[in-house]
Amino acid sequence: MLEQQLSPYLDCQRWIVGYSGGLDSTVLLHACQTLLKRLSSERAVHNATAPRLPELVAVHVDHQLMPQHLDWVAHCQHFCERQQIALELQTVDVLVDGQGLENAARNARYAAFSRYIDTPHHLLLSAHHQNDQAETVLLRLFRGAGMQGVGAMSTIRPFFSGRLARPFLGIPRGVLQNYANEHQLDYLEDPSNADDKFDRNFVRRTVLPLIAERWTAVESTLARFAGHAADNERLARDLAHLDVSSGLRGSKTYGECLQIEALSILASYRRANIYRFWLGTLGEKMPSTARLEEIDALVLGKRAGSKLIFRDYSLHVHSDGLYWVSNTWLSALDGFFMQPLTWKTAEVLAVKSIGTLCVTAGGGRDGLTPGEYQIGVRADGMECRLNGQSKPLKKLLQKAAIPAWLRDRYPIIYCVQSDGSRQVAAIGDQYICDDYRCPQGGAVNWHYDFDHQATKQLNW
């Protein structure tokens, strides 16, 4: 039965089993090896040609949290030696950093596993079972999770460059125990599993047994509910995708944007669904209900210049748009403009995930005089002479409807004078100052690059 759960994943090149040394992961590792051995023997007997079987690797992560953690390392080494299974050991430091010990340990563990996932054909196998799923549903319900959270764990999902699979998610823990007994598998019991100060242990040892006294099938029922919740979440995600794709997206001139007017005519629950979907596509964590309500108030207020600050990003209202602005991207932009850049009008200045500055060939009244310039940002007191009048850059940027968060990060084209001073020649592609217009010049073009996937990797 357990081997059947693994068959759908035989097309992978590598199986990485998260092996702790406990019952669940020991059964998973043994079942993987048993299936691969049997298939290999069958092919040898029949001289069959078939796709190569996955490579099996066990990875043990030593969190260094238990006094006897080295005993667990030794146990895993001995088990894998006896079973002739390749074992990789990873020692990690668990940094709690306000997220709770369980979450911190899981994050450290998954980061260690990710080192073995190099391609889409690599699969991390985890031994979570039906009881784990039931516990997760209750824990997330108690914490007020929405449908996405209550949907709990999925059987398979993307994981770094590859995938993460939980082949035993529909299997009761008793089946794993019977398998271990039948095959006389040697495994360890984690002493921390008896400590009810951990929420999961309390649910496992106290809450679920009490419920099961009246509703005996509670674990399978909760696992089934998780599946229903996951289906409903997928429906909500599909609806949000349709909503966003049918005209809600605004111009990307200044970044990822939703049109406020189109949002405001929708029902509140539908707007909340859109916010979750939109931020999820941008790689952001789901905001709490309170934060979603703040986002909605920002949208319904429609007040230009209003904003909400999050840890890694901010949301801004500008020209009937709700804009997502990455802190990482802003920092990279500041670094780009930190030192003045030399630019010739015949060249294209392009930096991925920052922007592109160029001059389009062809004469015209508004053409920029060909030559060498310096690119920087606005400085206090700087002015641009237009139609015989000197005007402050600050007011010109406001008039051009440049968003407030970009006015100090908008390219100003300077001409360096013989005495070393600078004179404003142009304000990006918005204005060319009087002294620098000529018929032989070309139109200035400036585009910000808002590749949000690349933006996520800008913290060098």
Does some domain include residue 202?
no
Rounded mean pLDDT of 362-373?
A: 77
pLDDT score recorded for residue 59:
95
- Choose among 304, 301, 330: nearest CA to 319: 304
Looking at the structure, tell me whether residues 263 and 375 fall in a common domain: no
Q: Which residues of 179-205 are buried (b: 16+ CB within 10 A; e: fewer)?
A: bbeeeebebbeeeeeeeeebbebebbe
Query: Would you say residue 316 has pLDDT above 70?
Result: yes
Looking at the structure, tell me whether residues 448 and 424 fall in a common domain: yes
Domain count, the chain: 3
Query: Which of 170-174, 191-195, 210-214, 385-389 has the least mean pLDDT?
Result: 191-195
Does some domain include residue 238?
no
pLDDT score recorded for residue 439:
81
Residue with the larger pLDDT of the pair 339 and 182: 182
pLDDT score recorded for residue 451:
66
Looking at the structure, tell me whether residues 394 and 315 fall in a common domain: no
Does some domain include residue 298?
yes
Query: Would you say residue 420 has pLDDT above 90?
Result: no
Residue with the larger pLDDT of the pair 365 and 310: 310
Query: Would you say residue 304 has pLDDT above 70?
Result: yes
Looking at the structure, tell me whether residues 53 and 138 fall in a common domain: yes
**Which pLDDT tens digit goes with each residue over 235-280?**
998 999 999 988 788 888 888 999 999 999 999 999 999 999 999 8
Query: Would you say residue 314 has pLDDT above 70?
Result: yes
CATH of the domain at 270: 3.30.465
Looking at the structure, tell me whether residues 311 and 402 fall in a common domain: no
Does some domain include residue 259?
yes
**Which residue type does 299 have?**
V
Query: Would you say residue 161 has pLDDT above 70?
Result: yes
Q: How confident is the model at residue 457 (pLDDT cuts 50, 70, 90)?
A: very low
Looking at the structure, tell me whether residues 51 and 106 fall in a common domain: yes
Does some domain include residue 232?
no
Looking at the structure, tell me whether residues 23 and 56 fall in a common domain: yes
Angle between the N-to-C axes of helices 69-83 and 23-46, in degrees from 0 to 180, rounded to the nearest 10: 10
pLDDT score recorded for residue 455:
46
Rounded to whole angstroms, the Cα distance separating 278 from 321 reads 14
Q: How confident is the model at residue 165 (pLDDT cuts 50, 70, 90)?
A: very high
Looking at the structure, tell me whether residues 25 and 76 fall in a common domain: yes
C-alpha distances out from residue 65 to 94, 204, 258, 289, 348, Å: 8, 21, 46, 34, 54
Would you mind telling me the total number of residues written for the chain in this entry?
460
Query: Would you say residue 84 has pLDDT above 60?
Result: yes
Residue with the larger pLDDT of the pair 339 and 321: 321
Looking at the structure, tell me whether residues 315 and 372 fall in a common domain: no
Does some domain include residue 223?
no
CATH of the domain at 85: 3.40.50.620
Looking at the structure, tell me whether residues 174 and 275 fall in a common domain: no
Q: How confident is the model at residue 294 (pLDDT cuts 50, 70, 90)?
A: very high
pLDDT score recorded for residue 375:
93
Of 330, 363, 385, the residue that ends a domain is 330
Does some domain include residue 36?
yes
Of 283, 312, 330, the residue that ends a domain is 330
Of 278, 304, 330, the residue that ends a domain is 330
**Which residue type does 163 have?**
R
Query: Would you say residue 363 has pLDDT above 60?
Result: no
Mode of pairing for the β-strands spanning 14-18 and 55-62: parallel
Q: Name the average pLDDT for the chain.
A: 88
Question: Which residues constitute the domain of residue 288?
Answer: 249-330
pLDDT score recorded for residue 456:
46
Rounded to whole angstroms, the Cα distance separating 97 from 331 reads 23
Looking at the structure, tell me whether residues 14 and 146 fall in a common domain: yes
Does some domain include residue 157?
yes
Name the percent of the chain lying above pLDDT 70: 95
Reduced 3-state DSSP string for the chain: CHHHHHHHHCCCCEEEEECCCCHHHHHHHHHHHHHHHHHHHHHHHHCCCCCCCCEEEEEEEECCCCCCHHHHHHHHHHHHHHHCCEEEEEECCCCCCCCCHHHHHHHHHHHHHHCCCCCCCEEEECCCCHHHHHHHHHHHHHCCCCHHHHCCCCCEEEECCEEEECCCCCCCHHHHHHHHHHCCCCCCCCHHHHCCCCHHHHHHHHHHHHHHCCCCCHHHHHHHHHHHHHHHHHHHHHHHHHHHHHHHECCCCCCCEEEHHHHHCCCHHHHHHHHHHHHHHCCCCCCCHHHHHHHHHHHHHCCCCCEEECCCEEEEEECCEEEEEEHHHHHHHHHHCCCCEEEECCCCEEECCCEEEEEECCCCCCCECCCEEEEECCCCCCEEEECCEEEEHHHHHHHCCCCHHHHHHCCEEEEECCCCCEEEEEECCCEECHHHECCCCEEEEEEECCCHHHHCCCCC
Rounded mean pLDDT of 328-357?
A: 87
**Which pLDDT tens digit goes with each residue over 33-63?**
999 999 888 877 766 566 789 999 999 999 8
CB atoms inside a 10 Å sphere around CB 232: 14
Rounded mean pLDDT of 185-207?
A: 87
**pTM for the model:** 0.76
> Strands across the sheet with 349-351, in order?
349-351, 355-360, 443-448
Strand partners, 89: 60
Cα 89 to chain centroid, rounded? 27
Looking at the structure, tell me whether residues 302 and 348 fall in a common domain: no
